[in-house]
Amino acid sequence: MAREDAENALNAMGEIARFIEEASSIIDKEEVSSFIDLLAEVYGDHRRKVLVMGAGRSGLVGKAFAMRLLHLGYNSYVLGDTIVPSVRRGDVVVAISGSGKTKLIVTAAEAAKQVGATVVAITTYPDSPLGKLADLVVKVPGRTKHSRLDDYFARQILGIHEPLAPLGTLFEDTALVFLDGVVYALMERLRVSEDEMRSRHANIEL
């Protein structure tokens, strides 16, 4: 049983890795370029902020991305933290939701739009409520917790069998790796060294 458990875990790990590799070949390069351009435009202007938001595990992905933005030198925040300042015109809001239907995120994105912030949706469904209100959509494939085999991109990459990763795992893992790739692209564009990033890393940790 222990050996079978290990095989199940490693098989799932391999399938997730293959999914992410395939996803990297179908994510639209123009969408990615526009996203990086937008973030590069904000860089260095300390009057402008980047607010990242997501619910559940997507929120954890957002926190990881916001942390790396901070290391790069951005004024980055995560929705829900007590120290988040007000969002204003010129700020960038990155909303992460596989389904694009998460009410909390859609409502927060609507509020950001009303004050003139630029909203970027990281989602599998551009035609979702979040996708429709966003100024920019980056379509990241993944199976979401709201659906099964009706996920076109998951079906396209994995075939018609049920993936080994439950609920929204494929979207969340793919979004995490994609956003780490964006961080690397920003390091190159902005010429920020790893030493500079390390200097902004927390030096007091629990």
Say how far apart CA 197 and CA 10 lie, in whole Å. 33
pLDDT in tens, 22-65: 999 999 999 999 999 999 999 988 889 999 999 999 999 999 99
pLDDT, position 81: 92
Kindly indicate the confidence band of residue 105, based on its pLDDT and cuts at 50, 70 and 90: very high
Asked if 151 and 164 count as a contact pair (C-beta separation under 8 A), the reply is no
Active site residues: 172
What does the mean pLDDT of the chain come to? 88
- The predicted model scores a pTM of 0.87
Please give the angle made by the CA atoms of 15, 64 and 12, to the nearest 5 degrees. 15
Identity of the amino acid at 148: R
Say how far apart CA 146 and CA 52 lie, in whole Å. 22
Asked if 120 and 95 count as a contact pair (C-beta separation under 8 A), the reply is yes
State the residue for tokens 């007091």: 204
Question: Crossing angle of helices 29-42/169-190, nearest 10°?
Answer: 50
Contacts of 128 (CB under 8 A, 6+ apart): 97, 99, 100, 101, 121
DSSP 14-56: HHHHHHHHHHHHHS-HHHHHHHHHHHHHHTT-TT--EEEEEST
Q: Which of 195, 165, 204, 206 is nearest to 71 (CA)?
A: 195
Say how far apart CA 140 and CA 131 lie, in whole Å. 12
pLDDT, position 202: 72
Domain residue limits, the chain? 2-192
Report the topology of domain 2-192: Rossmann fold (3.40.50)
pLDDT in tens, 157-187: 544 345 555 556 889 999 999 999 999 999 9
